[in-house]
Amino acid sequence: MVEDFVRYQDVVVGFGKSGKLLAAEMAKRGRKVLLVEKDAGRFGGTCINVACIPTKILEHWARSGRNGLSDAEHYRKAVETKNVKISALRAAN
pLDDT tens digits along 51-73: 888 899 989 988 888 889 999 99
The boundaries of the domain holding residue 76 are 42-93
Whether residue 46 is found in the same domain as residue 34: no
Mean pLDDT of 24-53: 89
Which phi and psi angles does 24 have, rounded to 5°? -65, -45
Provide the pLDDT for residue 1: 57
Helix (H, G, I), strand (E, B) or coil at 90: helix
Q: How many domains does the chain have?
A: 2
Whether residue 59 is found in the same domain as residue 26: no
